Structure 1
Amino acid sequence: MKKIVALLIAAGISLTAAAAPDNFSSDANHTFSSFSYSHFGYSTQQSRFNNTTAKFTLDRAAKTGSVEATIDAKSVDTGSKLFDQHIQGEDFLDTAKYPTITYKSTKVNFKGDVPSTVEGNLTLKGVTKPVTLTITHFQCMDHPMMKKLACGANATATIKRTEFNAGKYAPHVGDDVTLSFAIEALKD
């Protein structure tokens, strides 16, 4: 009988030690996406989207996860109201017809104990293509002010805008666009 109780206790401990996936929602004040591209070779232009939301699930013990992000394409911020309108036009983002850009993961890959890349599908201007995000920074810890688990990450990917029907002026205005994401999220 003592052996059975000992086995049940051991099984109970191992069951409680197995971590369940944690769900996170982005902090709107510390989450945004940006993009950069070559402008006729003169300079690398950098712009951002002011409204990006994300949800992700992370199971660090099982080394699995998922990510879903939505970008409000109308929140594009180039630093010029006139140019913002130009980027929102039919030749580029066509925000009247496609007001959001989405990313949905298909797999999260780990290197050691932290996520290193996220494979998924980017939908931009009605076109969906596979895009892999490379995570350049990742950290989870108790948030010092919110007193709950928080995770943050930076990730990048490069896409060809011509593949998303946004190739006006290519190749003079660079076809390669670097996407960058900064996310901070609190556990739900």
Structure 2
Amino acid sequence: MKKIVALLIAAGFSLAATAAPETYVIDTTHTAPRFEYSHFGYSNQVSRFDNTTGKIVIDKAAKTGSVDVTIDAKSVNTGYATFNNHLQGEDFFNTAKYPAITYKSTKVNFNGDKVASVDGNLTIKGITKPVTLTVTSFQCMPHPMLKKDACGANAVAKILRSDFGAGKYAPHVSDEVTLTFAIESVKE
């Protein structure tokens, strides 16, 4: 009996040793953070950032992970160059002083084998606030073209832009902003 228990314990340690965190690098060509807000109640405007970098670490066996993302605030893209420049000014992103927006996780939450949400800290204009991203889809599998493992996710959160020192024209232009992230990453 002691031999069986010892064998089971050894097998458990062996399995635990094989589970390890995996690091994925964000694919900048397939990652698009977007933000949406009401414009005077006429319509919801959607804009995006074109340059995002970072890493995602997932340990599926331990159900843990981390997210570290940097968005180039100067890459804001509204589809209109004059408005892009306006958003880069002091009233909004102030990219001359704060060129980056960052999100650093404090906890990755799983539902079964899938990432369900990510708790973390969002920093805009040097102001850091806790923000939870609700993951609406999450998939890891071999990438058919790159022949490497890859993970992708979609996530959403709501923030108040005034919390980050960017509340000009509120409430006419909504203070509440919906953040949407479409992220793809490739295993290091």
Which TM-score band (shorter chain)? over 0.9
Name 1:146's counterpart in structure 2: 146
Shift of 1:12: 5.1
Deviation at 1:100, TM superposition (A): 0.3
- Counterpart amino acid of 1:93? F
- Does the alignment pair 1:175 with 2:175? yes
Q: Distance in 1 between matches of 2:159 and 2:59?
A: 28
The separation in 2 between residues aligned to 1:125 and 1:143, in whole angstroms, is 36
Letter in 1 for 2:69: A
Paired with 2:74 and 2:28, the residues of 1 have a C-alpha distance of: 16
Match of 1:49?
Answer: 49
Corresponding residue number in structure 1 for 2:15: 17
Q: Distance in 2 between matches of 1:107 and 1:74?
A: 28
Matching residue of 2:28: 28
Determine whether 1:133 maps to 2:127. Answer: no
- Distance change >3 Å, CA 96–CA 43, structure 1 → 2: same
**TM-score (normalizing by structure 1):** 0.93
Q: Structure 1 segments of 4 or more deviating over 2 A? A: 10-18
Q: How many residues of Structure 1 are paired with residues of Structure 2 in the alignment?
A: 185
Q: Which runs of 5+ in 2 are unaligned?
A: none
Amino acid at match of 2:12: S
| CA–CA separation in structure 1 for the residues paired with 2:109 and 2:12 | 25
Which amino acid letter does the alignment assign opposite residue 82 of structure 1?
T
For 2:14 and 2:45, how far apart are their aligned partners in 1? Answer: 50
Helix, strand or coil: the match of 2:116? strand
1:14 partner SS: helix
Q: TM-score, normalised by structure 2?
A: 0.93
Q: Return the alpha-carbon distance in structure 1 between the equivalents of residues 33 and 72 of structure 2.
A: 10
Per the TM alignment, residue 113 of structure 1 is displaced from its structure 2 partner at its CA by 1.1
Name the structure 1 match of 2:116: 116
- CA–CA distance in 1 between the matches of 2:44 and 2:82? 19
Displacement after TM superposition at 1:118 (Å): 0.4
> Is there any run of 5+ residues in structure 1 with no aligned partner, and where?
none
1:50 Cα deviation (Å)? 0.1
Where does residue 160 of structure 2 map in the other structure? 160
Task: Report 1:16-95 matches (<5 A).
Answer: 16-18=14-16, 19-95=19-95
Aligned-CA RMSD value: 1.6
C-alpha separation in 1, matches of 2:136 and 2:105: 17
SS at match of 2:174: coil
